[in-house]
């Protein structure tokens, strides 16, 4: 089954500025895909279309169900979105309440909600954080907690907007490990091309609201010409010997 199918999908901002221009693509269930491109290319807008945060024009199907007003409640159950800023998702007095918020609104019994909170925290490496307040966490910890709020709702598709932006090396590595081991369909936007290479089988390049290229990560992210044409650079490991040495040194620090 296709997790996502888009045909001639477009979106314009309220002032009429086009963000996405008749893009077409599909994502099989279980695939991990990174969407890359320069600032303003439409990456984050596309993420918000996937579960109806914004409404576009054209065909958009989630697990063979058309995204429209009548189907929106079901699609919101299937697609969990993790925003770039964790403070957009953390608003309760404790982390337990933040993570329990979604499952409780799904109508789940209290015992199952507690189990989901514990499982979600364990999956992102925040065991024992139930009584903590997000206001007292580091930025990296808040990123992981915001991810846990979506994991607890058990969506079939997880969409992440810039999951490793502004993270220190330790928390970046935790996000990468989570992505690598997670079996869900995952669609993410990123400027972190080394992370995309580590975690996603496929990369789609967006620029000015259009799909410029779409293919296997190893092939596209080693194509210096197409990356530079779209204001991107080769992943660090594929650059000069000095850069490769620097990347390996960063990896050693990350893995400590």
**Residue-wise pLDDT tens digits, 214-226:** 999 999 999 999 9
Q: What is the pLDDT at residue 252?
A: 55
Q: Which residues contact 69 (CB under 8 A, 6 or more apart)?
A: none
Considering the chain, what percentage of its residues have pLDDT values greater than 70?
93
> Residue 210's domain is classified under what CATH number?
3.40.50.300
How far separated are the first and last CA of the chain, in Å rounded?
40
Q: What pLDDT digit, counting tens, does each position of 64-94 carry?
A: 999 998 999 999 999 999 999 999 999 999 9
Q: What pLDDT digit, counting tens, does each position of 105-142 carry?
A: 999 999 999 999 999 999 999 999 999 999 999 999 99
Tell me: pLDDT of 236 over 60. yes
Q: Using CA atoms, how far apart are residues 77 and 157, in angstroms rounded to an integer?
A: 9
Q: What is the pLDDT at residue 249?
A: 56
Q: What is the pLDDT at residue 250?
A: 52
The model carries a pTM of 0.90
Reported as a pLDDT band with limits 50, 70 and 90, residue 231 is very high
Q: Per the structure, how many domains does the chain have?
A: 1
Residues 160, 195 contacting (CB under 8 angstroms): no
Q: Rounded mean pLDDT of the chain?
A: 93
Q: What pLDDT digit, counting tens, does each position of 139-183 carry?
A: 999 999 999 999 999 999 999 999 999 999 999 999 999 999 999
Tell me: pLDDT of 245 over 60. no
CA-closest candidate to residue 197, choices 173, 167, 178, 221: 221
Which range marks the domain in which residue 188 is found? 2-254
Q: What is the pLDDT at residue 241?
A: 62
Q: Using CA atoms, how far apart are residues 117 and 190, in angstroms rounded to an integer?
A: 27
Q: Using CA atoms, how far apart are residues 185 and 196, in angstroms rounded to an integer?
A: 15
Q: Using CA atoms, how far apart are residues 179 and 177, in angstroms rounded to an integer?
A: 5
Phi, psi (rounded to 5 degrees) for 6:
-125, 135
Token code pair at residue 36: 């890359």
Q: What is the pLDDT at residue 238?
A: 84
């Amino acid at each position: 089954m296709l997790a996502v199918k888009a045909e001639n999908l477009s979106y314009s901002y309220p002032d009429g500025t086009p963000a996405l221009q008749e893009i077409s693509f599909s994502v099989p269930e279980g695939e991990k895909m990174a969407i890359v491109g320069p600032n303003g290319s439409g990456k984050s807008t596309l993420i918000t279309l996937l579960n109806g945060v914004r409404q576009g024009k054209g065909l958009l199907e989630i697990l063979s169900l058309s995204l429209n007003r009548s189907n929106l409640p079901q699609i919101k159950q299937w697609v969990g979105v993790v925003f770039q800023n964790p403070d957009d998702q953390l608003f309760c007095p404790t982390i337990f309440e933040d993570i329990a918020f979604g499952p409780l609104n799904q109508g789940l019994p209290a015992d199952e909600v507690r189990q989901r909170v514990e499982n979600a925290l364990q999956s992102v490496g925040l065991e024992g954080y139930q009584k903590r307040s997000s206001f007292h966490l580091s930025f990296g910890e808040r990123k992981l907690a915001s991810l846990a709020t979506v994991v607890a709702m058990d969506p079939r598709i997880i969409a992440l907007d810039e999951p490793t932006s502004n993270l220190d090396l330790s928390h970046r590595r935790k996000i990468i490990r989570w992505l690598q081991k997670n079996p869900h369909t995952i669609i993410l936007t990123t400027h972190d091309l080394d992370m995309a290479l580590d975690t996603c089988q496929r990369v789609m390049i967006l620029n000015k609201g259009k799909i410029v290229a779409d293919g296997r990560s190893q092939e596209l992210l080693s194509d210096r010409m197409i990356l530079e044409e779209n204001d991107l650079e080769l992943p660090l490991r594929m650059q000069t010997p000095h850069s490769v040495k620097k990347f390996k040194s960063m990896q050693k620090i990350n893995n400590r």
